[in-house]
Amino acid sequence: MSDSGLLPVVEIRPANDAPATAAVGSGGTPDDYPFEIAHYMRQDPELAHIKWILPAARVSFLFLPESGPLTYRVHVDFYRPKRAITGNGGLQMPAWFDIFTFKLPITPPPAGEEDDKGILESIDALEKLLDGVIASGIPPDRIVLGGISQGGAMALLTGLTTKNKRLAGLVALSARLPLRYRLKSMVSPHASTIPIFWGHGDADRLVTLQLGRACADFLVKEIGIPPEPNWPSSGSGSGGTPSGLDFQTYQDLGHTISDEELLDVGQWLKRIVPGDAEMDSDAS
């Protein structure tokens, strides 16, 4: 475990020991999902170049076998501080920001109905984490920021508002988009060019598919993100980069992840941050 700025992190080395790319996870619910996603992805040879960086407070013991299920893991506590969650009667829960109500509205909540302070503090913490990753030698255009639930919300908000670096892409699973009432004034000049993968289950009762779709539509209509993924043709010489929103819906999936969804994320990652061999082939 290492310390990047204010966020302690767990780093899972690339399977081929050649870190040229980083996938930064901003947590989820339950907390072990980022580890399971990293383990799932690193078994694919075409994703072996990715270094997984997961904000965490403490790992007493972590074992990632080269294949098979994640069989040994003892005590993983994610960084997300415990907060008194207003919508849950003030109960202390791990969270990036407070949730005033679990009856999440489809339309953008007005000022004062979201935890602006907590959200902005978490954006700042993730910004510092990204700065540390870049300082380690991984360029912004080889970094993907993603998360589940609140982690997905923070990935979107951080990636779209960071002013001095355009990330390779963003992943949001079972997520929503807070601060819609003020987001247009916060986004970076390059926000509309960042490719986004958004996965959502049609049986999600916490963050409904209707809410997820409304937030994704906001990105298209208000931020200018293309409504469909754009993949520059290999060998076209256009020098273009991927862009656009890839929104995928999963039947009978609740507020969780599935193998089908992870397979889609993996295929998307291969196009967003291809391995060295594919990059060399495209350049030739």
pLDDT at 81: 63
Burial class, 153, CB count within 10 angstroms (exposed 0-12 / middle 13-18 / buried 19+): buried
CATH code for residues 2-80+115-283:
3.40.50.1820
Answer with the residue of higher pLDDT: 201 or 72: 201
In the set 31, 98, 115, 204, the catalytic residue is: 204
User: How confident is the model over 239-258, as pLDDT tens digits?
Assistant: 578 999 999 999 999 999 99
pLDDT at 174: 94
pLDDT at 7: 66
Q: Give the CA radius of gyration of the chain.
A: 18
In the set 39, 49, 200, 255, the catalytic residue is: 255
Segment 183-211 shows an average pLDDT of 97
Burial class, 185, CB count within 10 angstroms (exposed 0-12 / middle 13-18 / buried 19+): exposed
- Told to judge if 149 belongs to the known catalytic residues of this protein, a careful annotator would answer yes
pTM of the predicted protein model: 0.86
User: Does residue 268 carry a pLDDT above 60?
Assistant: yes
Backbone angles phi, psi at 81, to 5 degrees: -65, 155
In the set 149, 174, 200, 246, the catalytic residue is: 149
Could you write out the DSSP letters of every residue in 10-27? EEE--TTS---EEEEE--
CA-nearest of 196, 195, 175, 171 to 262 is 171
CB 58, CB 67: distance < 8 Å: no
Per DSSP, the three-state class of 200 is: strand
Segment 93-103 shows an average pLDDT of 89
pLDDT at 56: 59
CB neighbourhood size of 268 (10 A): 21
- Told to judge if 185 belongs to the known catalytic residues of this protein, a careful annotator would answer no
User: How confident is the model over 142-187, as pLDDT tens digits?
Assistant: 999 998 899 899 999 999 999 888 999 999 999 999 999 999 999 9
Mean pLDDT (the chain, rounded): 82
Cis, bond preceding 274 (omega within 30 deg of 0): no
- Told to judge if 190 belongs to the known catalytic residues of this protein, a careful annotator would answer no
